[in-house]
């Protein structure tokens, strides 16, 4: 997995060696200026850089997601725990929420400051392999091929999916 920061300075990568890495693309030698993030106990499947480029999130086969300080590579608190491997992570546009998708069939929303789950898992079905926040929809939305769950009233639109097709629902579609 890889992603580039909004200012195009940093490239973040996840690896099968249980690490993530931040590469300084503005450095003369990006490899020498890289920051290695260690702490996962298994393969890192996904990386995401927060909208202000200060934080990095990782998703791992070790059943956790982690938040990291992008400037230092230090973990930001304890891991965020799922019951099965975590396939994907995504920051909300304001950076205050992190969404995770797991093979335990749940998508969760986490407060990036307290690192606490914002509510019950959003869905519980087959393995979820991707999650993302919408930049354009005014109401919360969750995409899944199985069923839709009401999102928190103060939530930002997100989508989560399995490998199969998905459908979009908005808050107005649910009671």
**Given pLDDT bands bounded at 50, 70 and 90, which one contains residue 15?**
very high
**Spatial separation of the C-alpha atoms in residues 175 and 166, rounded to whole Å:** 20
**Spatial separation of the C-alpha atoms in residues 47 and 28, rounded to whole Å:** 24
Per the model's pLDDT, the better-predicted residue between 32 and 19 turns out to be 19
pLDDT, tens digit, 9 for 90 and up, residues 41-59 = 999 999 999 999 999 999 9
**Given pLDDT bands bounded at 50, 70 and 90, which one contains residue 33?**
confident
- Cα dihedral 135, 138, 139, 142, rounded to 10, equals -20
pLDDT, tens digit, 9 for 90 and up, residues 50-105 = 999 999 999 999 999 999 999 899 999 999 999 999 999 999 888 999 999 899 98
**CB-CB neighbours of 22 under 10 Å:** 25
């Amino acid at each position: 997995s890889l992603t580039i920061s909004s200012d195009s300075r940093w490239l973040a990568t996840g690896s099968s060696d249980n690490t993530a890495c931040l590469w300084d693309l503005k450095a003369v030698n990006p490899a020498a200026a890289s920051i290695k993030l260690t702490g996962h106990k298994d393969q890192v499947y996904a990386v995401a850089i927060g909208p202000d480029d200060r934080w990095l999130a990782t998703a791992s086969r070790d059943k956790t997601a982690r938040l990291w300080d992008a400037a230092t590579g230090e973990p930001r608190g304890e891991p965020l725990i799922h019951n099965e491997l975590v396939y994907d992570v995504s920051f909300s546009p304001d950076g205050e929420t992190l969404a995770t998708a797991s093979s335990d069939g749940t998508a969760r929303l986490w407060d990036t400051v307290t690192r606490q789950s914002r509510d019950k898992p959003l869905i519980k079905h087959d393995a979820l392999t991707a999650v993302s926040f919408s930049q354009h929809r005014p109401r919360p939305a969750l995409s899944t091929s199985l069923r839709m769950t009401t999102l928190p009233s103060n939530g930002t639109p997100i989508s989560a999916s399995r490998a199969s097709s998905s459908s979009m629902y908005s808050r107005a579609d649910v009671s």
